[in-house]
Chain A
């Protein structure tokens, strides 16, 4: 833990605010090129969306930032260092499915990252347990700490997954269409809750990167939208969203923003 803090400190002094820096980044799965030369930068304090059509390779960029996919070309630096094990920053990632372990209670699922980091069997200290309970309170699941995943609704399962991701105390939170499998009502509620957690400053999060194919969702959530074209992903445009929070879809400024992003996302022929 201390070692990591030192590394973090060192990384922080070297690169002031640049958390993620990609330069002509290329990613491939075997023969298939998923991302063909994308350059982007994500700074501290930003909520950034990667917007693009389904299957365009935007998830691959996220997975590369998490160190799950090797870089096939170009450069990708996380806080000045290579992605993966060596990254001085803690990265948390949330997936389309909640991926909770069905034999563990909600609380035990949330504690999992700490157990793994501390090599502590299935026991965690009182501090960690308290932290897990706090996170469950933040995501509104305090009353379901002892419930099993199959007793939770889809939305509640994703909240638990969010709490688990926050448990590793990430600097960067990567969200891969996190609420995409949920119905529209639940998705909107969870998006709002996510924003309020992010803006409350109760976590140490420095940036959130969210993959989405929904233009309204990107406009409602982000400070900047990175618009990507179809596979292999290329950068089409970067749109800054300077609307005050909470954002109201009925607001004329919101509608203008939607139009601007829609134009940016339109394939140019």
Chain B
């Protein structure tokens, strides 16, 4: 790597980092200077100082539920998308249900999930599945249909049957769409898990937020919020890493 490039990289990191440090310093200064009570707005240093190893356990719960729901939802949505495109009757019949599922707020369904599945792991997984299913379904369907306009004629002149068109054209073609959807739904899955924990749980970041805010332990609330954001960022970058390797060819082809 040339010196110019590494300087550019350093600059790319340095500017946002400087801003983050600036904002944190301003926050710290205001809280201390104006003597804002800790239960309203804790100073950044207080949030860091009160960090506890037990936070890791809660992170593991929420991340596990979200990841499990995300994987189940992605698999189901991918299979459903293939069924939708292969058999248009299924699409016509089930699409209204998918839309209903999408438009119903997960917050409204969550109490029912806890009632049915209990306060443990599965009600959170179910919430994560419900919320992250739709974006994957819609984008995968779009990706599976996308090559129709251009590629239909060459594949027909090669006399490909529908199964071959799926294997050799539609499925690889939809992968960039599938991965963009995964990046959206991974953060939604965390929302689902936390909402589930709000309603009824003994563990997890959502549970921690509810309990700590009730006891006015605001630094812990901030820690839990930060941890939730970190899970989302980690999943996003992990997916992006996988995406770059699986659909390396799409970097130029698609936006």
Give the interface of A toward B (CB within 8 A): 63, 66-68, 85, 91-93, 95, 97, 99, 101-103, 112-113, 115-117, 119, 148-150, 168
Which of A67, A102, A115, A150 is within 8 Å of B168, CB to CB?
A115
Which of B150, B172, B253 is within 8 Å of A150, CB to CB?
B253
Dominant SS among interface residues on chain A: loop
B169 within 8 A of A: yes
Residues of A within 8 A of B151 (CB): 99
Residues of B within 8 A of A113 (CB): 158
Find out whether the CB atom of A68 lies under 8 angstroms from the CB atom of B156: yes
Report 13 cross-chain contacts, Cβ distance below 8 Å, ordered by A residue: A68-B157, A91-B157, A93-B153, A93-B154, A99-B151, A101-B168, A102-B253, A103-B172, A103-B247, A103-B249, A116-B159, A116-B164, A148-B249
B234 within 8 A of A: no
Residues of A within 8 A of B247 (CB): 103
A119 to chain B: closest residue by CB:
B164
B252 within 8 A of A: yes
Find out whether the CB atom of A97 lies under 8 angstroms from the CB atom of B150: yes
Bound CA span A67–B153, Å: 10
Residues of B within 8 A of A115 (CB): 168
Residues of A within 8 A of B159 (CB): 85, 116-117
Give the interface of B toward A (CB within 8 A): 150-151, 153-160, 164, 168-169, 172-173, 247, 249-253
Residues of B within 8 A of A92 (CB): 157
Which of A91, A97, A99, A102 is within 8 Å of B249, CB to CB?
A102
Find out whether the CB atom of B249 lies under 8 angstroms from the CB atom of A112: no
Find out whether the CB atom of A66 lies under 8 angstroms from the CB atom of B249: no
B157 to chain A: closest residue by CB:
A93
Bound CA span A67–B159, Å: 10
B154 to chain A: closest residue by CB:
A99
Dominant SS among interface residues on chain B: helix
Interchain pairs with CB closer than 8 A, number: 51
Bound CA span A102–B176, Å: 12
Bound CA span A116–B252, Å: 27
Find out whether the CB atom of A116 lies under 8 angstroms from the CB atom of B158: yes
Find out whether the CB atom of B252 lies under 8 angstroms from the CB atom of A101: no
Find out whether the CB atom of A101 lies under 8 angstroms from the CB atom of B169: yes
Residues of A within 8 A of B160 (CB): 116
Residues of A within 8 A of B157 (CB): 66-68, 91-93
B152 to chain A: closest residue by CB:
A68
Bound CA span A66–B153, Å: 9
Bound CA span A92–B157, Å: 7
Bound CA span A35–B153, Å: 19
Residues of A within 8 A of B158 (CB): 112-113, 116-117, 168
Residues of B within 8 A of A148 (CB): 249
Bound CA span A67–B247, Å: 34
Bound CA span A91–B156, Å: 11
Bound CA span A120–B253, Å: 27
B57 to chain A, nearest CB (A): 42
A61 to chain B, nearest CB (A): 14
- A-B interface, 3 closest residue pairs, ranked by CB to CB distance from nearest: A150-B252, A102-B249, A103-B249
Find out whether the CB atom of B252 lies under 8 angstroms from the CB atom of A95: no
A82 to chain B, nearest CB (A): 15
Given contacts A116-B159, A117-B159, A148-B249, contact A95 B168 (CB under 8 A): no
Find out whether the CB atom of B150 lies under 8 angstroms from the CB atom of A99: yes
Given contacts A112-B168, A117-B159, contact A95 B249 (CB under 8 A): no
A174 to chain B: closest residue by CB:
B157
Bound CA span A148–B250, Å: 11
Bound CA span A101–B165, Å: 12
Residues of A within 8 A of B168 (CB): 101, 112, 115-116
Bound CA span A92–B156, Å: 11
Contacts A91-B157, A103-B247 supplied; 9 other A-B pairs, CB < 8 Å: A66-B157, A93-B153, A95-B154, A101-B172, A103-B172, A103-B249, A112-B158, A113-B158, A116-B164
